[in-house]
């Protein structure tokens, strides 16, 4: 297949839409090839079924103009950083050959999320080993960044998604089994009428940090490289 420019790896269908959906759409609109790898199928979710989540994920992918999307068979609520699971993800890295991989931040409330972060990083490393007994040519992404929206930490950069905000919200709403008012999970899920306000409040907060209307937050481990001090876009005072 044609190599991807950006591959987002997440534990569950709808995680990408909630944390970096606007960024993925922005990349697609810039002509980049984008993909999403969901580690699980959502069979343990309080709301909906795995089949529901699959149909909703496909609908959301169309809204975000995703070129490639796939779900692995790792058990939902049992994402474990095992050798077997690392190989499953490494196989996808070799197949899709992304330049950039987006992972969830390595801390959080849900064990599947933070385990996905470590699992994804180690799989990216494994995929580049020449002597690894795995189909496909060795490949490592040039860049790994972490979507931090699920955890309260100051990002190292944000992506302006102001033009993409409404479509990002539409992609979240595509998960009708999750984000419509219903008795199941009522104590843990926001009321449908509150979703827009919540999503907008978070996006506006991160946008404010960089002087734009709506943004999504990310973290990178590396020190950034600047060639021109006069071209740094966010003002200091």
pLDDT tens digits, residue range 182-215? 776 667 778 888 999 999 999 999 999 999 999 9
Q: Does any domain span residue 1?
A: no
Q: Does any domain span residue 236?
A: no
Q: Does any domain span residue 209?
A: yes
What does the pLDDT profile of the chain (237 residues) look like in tens digits?
A: 899 999 999 999 999 999 999 999 999 999 999 999 999 998 888 778 999 999 999 999 999 999 999 999 999 999 999 999 999 999 999 999 999 999 999 999 999 999 999 999 999 999 999 999 999 999 999 999 999 999 999 999 999 999 999 999 999 999 999 887 777 666 777 888 899 999 999 999 999 999 999 999 999 999 999 999 999 999 998
Beta bridge partners, 159, equal 216
In 3-state terms the chain splits into helix, strand, coil percentages (rounded to 5) of 40, 15, 45
Q: Does any domain span residue 237?
A: no
pLDDT in tens, 148-157: 999 999 999 9
Dihedral over alpha carbons 107, 148, 185, 85 (to 10 degrees): -60
pLDDT in tens, 121-146: 999 999 999 999 999 999 999 999 99
Residue spans of alpha helices (H) in 108-217:
111-126, 165-173, 192-210
Structural contact between residues 14 and 56, judged by C-beta atoms closer than 8 angstroms: yes
Q: Does any domain span residue 31?
A: yes
Range of the domain at 50: 6-231
| CATH number of the domain that residue 210 is part of | 3.40.50.10320
Number of domains in the chain: 1
Q: Does any domain span residue 224?
A: yes
Beta bridge partners, 35, equal 7, 68
């Amino acid at each position: 297949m044609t190599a991807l420019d950006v591959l987002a790896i997440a534990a569950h269908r709808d995680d990408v839409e909630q944390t970096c959906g606007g960024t993925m759409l922005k990349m697609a609109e810039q002509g980049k090839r984008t993909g999403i790898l969901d580690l699980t199928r959502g069979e343990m979710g309080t709301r909906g079924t795995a089949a529901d989540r699959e149909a909703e994920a496909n609908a959301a992918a169309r809204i975000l103009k995703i070129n490639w999307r796939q779900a692995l068979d790792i058990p939902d609520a049992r994402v474990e950083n095992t050798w077997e699971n690392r190989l499953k993800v490494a196989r996808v890295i070799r197949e899709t050959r992304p330049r950039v991989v987006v992972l969830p931040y390595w801390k959080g409330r849900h064990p599947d999320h933070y385990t996905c972060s470590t699992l994804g990083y180690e799989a990216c490393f494994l995929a580049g080993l020449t002597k690894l007994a795995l189909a496909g040519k060795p490949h490592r992404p040039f860049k790994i960044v972490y979507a931090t929206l699920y955890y309260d930490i100051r990002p190292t950069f944000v992506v302006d998604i102001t033009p993409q905000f409404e479509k990002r919200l539409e992609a979240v709403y595509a998960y009708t089994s999750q984000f419509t008012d219903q008795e199941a999970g009522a104590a843990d899920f926001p009321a449908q009428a509150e979703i827009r306000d919540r999503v907008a409040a978070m996006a506006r907060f991160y946008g404010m940090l960089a002087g734009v209307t709506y943004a999504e937050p990310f973290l990178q481990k590396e020190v950034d490289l600047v060639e021109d001090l006069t071209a740094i876009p966010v003002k200091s005072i």
